[in-house]
Amino acid sequence: MSRRLIIAIAGTFLFCTSIYAQTIDDGLMIPKHTLFTGDIYTHDSWSQYWEGTLKRTNGNLGTVTTQTNTWSANYGVTNHLDIIALTPYVWTNASQGVLKGQGGLQDFTLAAKYNLIDAPFTNYGRLRIIGVVSGILPLTNYTPDFQPLSLGLGSKSLSGRGTVFFQAPRGWFINGSAAYTWRSNVKLDRPYYYTNGQLYLSDEVAMPNVFNYVVSGGYLKHGWMFPILFSQQRTLGGGDIRRQDMPFISNRMNYSKLSAMAMFPLPKLHGLMLQVMYGHILDGRNVGYSSTITTGLLYTFHLERHRSKI
């Protein structure tokens, strides 16, 4: 395989979408001194959401749309270590009611992806085990207290991830990846808040940690990739949105999501890849019943003349 490919997963991290896992949770590595970079556009919308476990519509929101434009870069420091950076710009909008959509830079992601094991596995294929450490840092001082139209949650976080990737010689592959995310407390602009059955006389909100995983399978050969992905997020604490309440940053936001993706090199444009993906939430709690369309245009730069083969 001369070209390494990227799986992009648009993670619905709340009501607002963030390109959390672009290239972070797949089983692929970028060759040494190669930069894989480009722009990814995501359109996420929902007209129904789960208020706790109750699925409902809200006439004062109508359809909530979150568009995200993310600059993505993935650089192969060595053949076994990739550094990944993501910078998303987010716009939110509600189609009904009087609430004002927001726009601005959201959260910067920086990840180090290390290939721990890369070896033939039995006679049937190749096994790769990858560890990833990633951090998220809000780029701007946006208010997180205007859900579901805030740009994001305003929390710093750190994730540890493990990925197992198996590929058969003919191009079929399966991938499983799981992460645990520690999230920092968030400061609000107000001196008190009520959540999870309690009034807190503080401006600081404890953000519960998050577990998520994704399993995918599909075809990968000659720069073409067609995976189907199933992902789940479990927030390890937090309260439900109460009846007719607004969502809150520390809510227990859970979901299951099914996505399909296609990624392929554009003919006659050497090094340029097009990525298209569609995902839909299957079930959730305190999140939107959203559908997500992602398109990306990514280019491979070879920064070293004689790159090593892996």
Partner 1 sequence: MVCAAIFVNASCDKTITPQEDPAPLTPAAADANAGNWQMIVMSGPTEFPVAAPAATTDPAYLAELSSIQSSQSAITSTQSTSIQYWSSGAVVRWNEILRELVARADLPPAPLPNGTYPAPDPANPFADPNYPFSNPPYAARAYSYISVAEYDALKAAWYYKYQYNRPSPAKVDSSIQALMPITDLPSYPSEDGVLSGVNTVLMELLFPTSVQEITEKAAEERQAAMLSGKASASDIAAGLALGQAVATLFVARAATDGMKNATGTTAQWQAIATAVAASGQIPWHTLEIPPRPPMLPFFSQVKAWMLTPTDIIQERPGPPPSTSSDQMKEELAEVKSAVDNVTREQAATVYKWNDGANSVTPPGHWNAIAAPYINAAQFSEVRTARAFALLNMAMLDAAVACWDAKYTYYNPRPSQLDPSIKTIIALPNFPSYTSGHSTFSAAASEVLSYLFPADESYFEAQRDEAAMSRLYGGIHYPSDIQVGKDHGKRIGDYTVRFAQQDGAD
Question: Looking only at residues 2 through 61 of this chain, which bind partner 1 when binding is defined by CB under 8 A?
Answer: 56, 59-60
Cβ neighbours for 301, distance < 8 A, ≥ 6 positions apart: 34, 35, 36, 37, 271
Q: In this chain, which stretch among 13-21, 26-34, 176-184, 294-302 interacts with partner 1, using CB under 8 A?
A: 176-184
CA dist., res. 3 & res. 36, Å (int): 11
Distance in Å, CB of 76 to partner 1, minimum: 18
Q: Give the CA count within 13 Å in the CB-facing half-sphere of 204.
A: 4
Distance in Å, CB of 202 to partner 1, minimum: 5
**DSSP code string of 5-25:** ------EE-SSSEE---TTTS
Question: Looking only at residues 136 through 155 of this chain, which bind partner 1 when binding is defined by CB under 8 A?
Answer: 136-137, 141, 143, 145-146
Report the residue number, 157 or 259, with the smaller CB distance to partner 1.
157
Query: Where does residue 303 rank: exposed (0-12), middle (13-18), buried (19+ CB within 10 A)?
Result: exposed
Sign of the torsion formed by the C-alpha atoms of 137, 142, 146 and 151: negative
What would the two tokens of residue 69 be? 């434009």
CA dist., res. 202 & res. 174, Å (int): 46
Question: Looking only at residues 282 through 301 of this chain, which bind partner 1 when binding is defined by CB under 8 A?
Answer: none
Distance in Å, CB of 101 to partner 1, minimum: 7
Nearest to 180 by CA among 195, 153, 159: 159
x/- binding map, residues 68-97, to partner 1, per CB under 8 A?
A: ----------------------------xx
CA dist., res. 278 & res. 261, Å (int): 6
Q: In this chain, which stretch among 40-48, 70-78, 192-200, 276-284 interacts with partner 1, using CB under 8 A?
A: 192-200
Q: In this chain, which stretch among 29-37, 119-127, 204-212, 297-305 interacts with partner 1, using CB under 8 A?
A: 204-212
Distance in Å, CB of 29 to partner 1, minimum: 19
- Exactly one of 121, 124, 192, 219 binds partner 1 (CB under 8 A); that residue is 192
- Exactly one of 1, 81, 129, 158 binds partner 1 (CB under 8 A); that residue is 158
- Exactly one of 19, 179, 188, 261 binds partner 1 (CB under 8 A); that residue is 188
Question: Looking only at residues 95 through 114 of this chain, which bind partner 1 when binding is defined by CB under 8 A?
Answer: 96-101, 110, 112
- Region of residue 244 (phi > 0: left; psi between -120 and 50: alpha; otherwise: beta): left
CA dist., res. 236 & res. 213, Å (int): 14
x/- binding map, residues 231-270, to partner 1, per CB under 8 A?
A: -----------xxxxx------------------------
Contact 229, 263 (CB under 8 A): no
- Interface with partner 1, residue 133, by CB under 8 A: yes
Q: Give the CA count within 13 Å in the CB-facing half-sphere of 178.
A: 2
Report the residue number, 37 or 185, with the smaller CB distance to partner 1.
185
| Residue owning tokens 């340029």 | 272
The residues binding partner 1 (CB under 8 A) are 56, 59-60, 62, 96-101, 110, 112, 133-137, 141, 143, 145-146, 156-158, 182-185, 188-192, 194, 197-202, 204-207, 242-246
